[in-house]
Amino acid sequence: MKFFKVPEPTIMRLSLYSRILEQMEERGIPIISSVELGDAVGINSGVVRKDLSMFGEFGVRGVGYNVRELRDNIRKLLGQDRNWPVIIVGAGHLGSSLAAYPGFTQRGFNIEAIVDSDPALAGTTIQGHPVIDWAGAEQLIKEQGVRMAILAVPPDAVQSVAQRMIDLGIEAILNFSPIILKVPAAKAQVQNVDLTVFFDLMRFTSNLNEQEGLRPQSSSLRGLAVR
């Protein structure tokens, strides 16, 4: 098996392409060009072609890409064509909103359950997904071979919850709490998604714009020294 390096930005864009292609297919559009796909996700067409050419030759010169075919290939690349059992930890607002998102199932994730330590919640359902306690989680993870966990728990609980999940055999963790979760790389993979960062990012530019008037957005930001 021959592996090669793939830029992380490429994977993130594949995810975007995948959704655009889904929409194109629904609308019955058979062919799409790299320019159209690029416009749809807000990037240059060359990036699209580079990204795709990395994994194979999916297009036809002079024509474009077959929408369904490309979608299927990307789905396969991202693993969207298979069923991934997932467990959500934390039945609060964020956990619930993730559980409520329908695109989840469409994209190959299967929410097996939501784990919560509140005994009052165990046995209930949220958006049709059962809420279970830790004992139930242990059983479920073993039985269903769950490998991915989504952490939507309060910041102070993150580290211990992550450890507990790893002990139960979880291999990949997506952490939504505003805490940088660190776990020995050999134990499990962690992806931290810190929403507050996006707020700060947005504000940083607003803050500047205020000082020089609103301007066209550019990918490279500008700063202003403190003194």
Q: Which positions make up the binding site for NAD(+)?
A: 90-95
Any idea which residue has 């309060």 for tokens? 154
- In the region spanning residues 91 to 120, those forming contacts with a copy of itself, defined by CB under 8 A, are 92-94, 96-98, 100-101, 103-104, 107-109
- Interface with DNA (CB under 7 A): 5, 7-10, 32-35, 43-47, 49-50, 52-53, 57-65, 220
- DSSP-assigned letters across all residues of 117-141: S-TTTTT-EETTEEEE-HHHHHHHH
Q: Indicate which of a copy of itself, DNA, none lies near residue 45 (CB less than 5 to 8 Å, by partner kind).
A: DNA
Neighbours of 139 (CB within 10 A): 12
Cβ at position 215, least distance to a copy of itself in Å: 8
Contact pattern for a copy of itself over residues 46 through 85, marking x by CB under 8 A: --------xxx----------------x--xxxxx-x-x-
Question: Binding site: which residues?
Answer: 90-95
Q: How far is the CB of 187 from a copy of itself (least distance, A)?
A: 9
Q: Which residues pair with 44 in a beta bridge?
A: none
Which of residues 4 and 135 has its CB atom nearest to a copy of itself in the complex?
4
Q: Which one of DNA, a copy of itself, none is in contact with 217 (Cβ closer than 5 to 8 A by kind)?
A: a copy of itself
Tell me whether residue 124 is exposed, middle or buried, using C-beta atoms within 10 angstroms of its C-beta: 0 to 12, 13 to 18, 19 or more. Answer: middle
Alpha-carbon distance of 134 to 209, in angstroms, equals: 48
Residues 6+ positions from 101 with CB-CB distance below 8 Å:
none
The Cα 24–Cα 5 span in angstroms is 29
2 vs 93, beta carbon nearer DNA: 2
